[in-house]
Amino acid sequence: MFLSLQPESYTNHPMNEIRQSITHALENLYGLKDIQVELTPTKKNFQGDYTWTAFPLAKTLRTNPAQIAQKVGEYVKEKDRFVKDFNVAGGFLNLILAPEYFTQRVGRYYKEEDYGLQSPHTDEKKLMVEYSSPNTNKPLHLGHIRNNLLGYSISEIYKATGKPVIKTQIINDRGIHICKSMLAWQKFGKGETPESSGMKGDHLVGKYYVEFDKHYKQQVKELMEQGLDEATAKKQAPILLEAQDMLRRWEAKDPEVMQLWEMMNRWVLDGFRQTYKELGVDFDVEYFESDTYLLGKKIVEEGLAKGIFYREADGSVWVDLTDEGLDKKLLLRADGTSVYITQDLGTAVKRFSDFDIDMLIYVVGNEQDYHFQVLFSILKKLGYPWAERLYHLSYGMVELPHGKMKSREGTVVDADDLMEQMTETARKISEELGKTEGLDEAEKQRLYKLIGQAALKYFILKVDPKKGILFDPVKSIDFNGNTGPFLQYAYVRIRSILRKAGTWEAAFQGVEPNDKERLLVRQLEQFPAVILQAAQNRNPAVVANYIYDTVKTFNSFYQAHSILQAPSEEMKNFRLALAAWTAHVIRNGLALLGIDVPERM
């Protein structure tokens, strides 16, 4: 159903030659053709560098897997220049690679600054990734940050596999929630603007969304005191009825309502774009619900005419999905106004019409799992062939120690405030640890921002998207743990070593890498396959935790062996090249997470 990303398709994968040798062995020894060969790093309790398992072939060949592994090992040792020796443990063939394998790999990759990243557009099958997709009635908050970081990162990961990616968002700029902010500003705003208040436009509009809820709750309370039950009171609160009337007037293009809507939308969009710039995310194309909902209504009417949907006595339009284990779903209200799923239908159709995309990925929280099951089911019922190529990248919520965030009550963690807080926290911790000595004020401010952003992004992206997150700003900034600043510091230290080395030659003839160096090479050359795995799983945490493991592997090597005081010039050159390759992997891996690295710290 979806694109398959095979590690073998990565043209620079360093194990291709040894895989080919094993393939030839199987063909020449057993007459087996087109066998897919998988090599994995040898487990620590066995001697070897890479392992191939013969177990899957034992039944076909009616031979003991250990005997198959032994014969293949003998063949490969004789034929392959990079295989020095081997041992067999059960059906596992553990290959011990020649020193030249490691020196050649290091010599090839240490100067490839874009190591691991494919050239863009090697595959013409376009992917579209939708993320952010905010409502224009409030500013972005912590939940939006996880959404944006996931969407941006998975887009960059797909691009690194050589696939064209279109990053998009849908601006939810219409509906009852928008009218609530508009009505509250109209009634209580006294002409307040971003300029007169000194507030970002999205913050100002969000203020009136909270103001609406405050008055709404007071009116519900008063109606209940007059004898109405709670459900009736919530429906008959005068301010809600006014908002519903404003929505009808908006859909009727009432000039006064449209003017107010355009002004407040502009305020919010300006604020959003400032936040996106600060967060370091971007979009290739934007869609607006105010445009796509009309197409959605047309699609609903067409489905009604075909008998796919049905109309109730009150005039509302529904679809019955009970035969698919779902419920009946409202598509148009009795008064003819649309609901969320109406515009989602229109937006999906328009995207596949506008772009020749192979797959559309929606990055949306798990609170909307059911919504997307319904959406995808409706599109299939309507007969769109691409409906099978829709995917919901569902993720867990981000919570704080004091509980869940609520926009209406004004208890959200604002995205702008959080980023500012992260920069300030980075400043305090960096100064306490002496990380800014020798930097001028401008360099310090840039460093604080880089560290704060790295802490925030890595803390969120290192977690599997399916899992919820309890966010702790202080714990995220730790120079000695599984954090963004820790990884940045490792990069900075390597860059400092390379600067101290000055000019050196990439000549390391006769070098025999030790166990820690061999382990680091094996770790580094997994990077392209890790990117492919992250794309297949749609999970940036795969990259994040790989980079952390890479840094730990480098640190283990560095603590045991001096680079600049190596026992020979050739060994020093080899270790410098190995360090340079490591730095490329750290920087490129963090870039896939939207994290920049400083040169000094």
Task: List, run by run, the mean pLDDT of 10-residue segments along the chain (601 residues).
Answer: 40 71 95 91 91 94 95 96 94 95 93 88 86 93 93 97 95 93 97 96 96 97 96 97 94 95 97 96 96 94 96 96 96 89 95 95 96 98 97 90 48 82 86 81 92 93 94 75 92 96 90 96 94 96 98 97 96 97 98 95 81
Contact between residue 150 and residue 281 where contact means Cβ atoms under 8 Å apart: no
Do β-strands 310-311 and 317-320 pair in parallel, antiparallel, or remain unpaired?
antiparallel
Domains of the chain from N-terminus onward: 7-97 (3.30.1360.70), 131-293+355-399 (3.40.50.620), 425-592 (1.10.730.10)
3-state secondary structure of 440: coil
Tokens coding 10: 């990565």
What is the C-alpha separation between 601 and 584, in angstroms, rounded? 18
Contact between residue 546 and residue 482 where contact means Cβ atoms under 8 Å apart: no
Contact between residue 580 and residue 111 where contact means Cβ atoms under 8 Å apart: yes
Q: Which amino acid is at 238?
A: P
Tokens coding 500: 């101290």
Residue carrying the six token digits 């710290």: 601
User: How many other C-beta atoms lie within 10 A of the C-beta of residue 563?
Assistant: 19
Provide φ and ψ at 122, rounded to 5°.
Answer: -80, -10
3-state secondary structure of 110: coil
Provide the 8-state DSSP code for 568. S
> Can you give the pLDDT at residue 405?
40
What is the C-alpha separation between 358 and 376, in angstroms, rounded? 15
C-alpha R_g of the chain: 29
Name every residue whose Cβ is closer than 8 Å to that of residue 94 and which is 6 or more positions away in sequence: 42, 46, 47, 48, 49, 50, 51, 86, 87, 88
Q: Which amino acid is at 385?
A: P
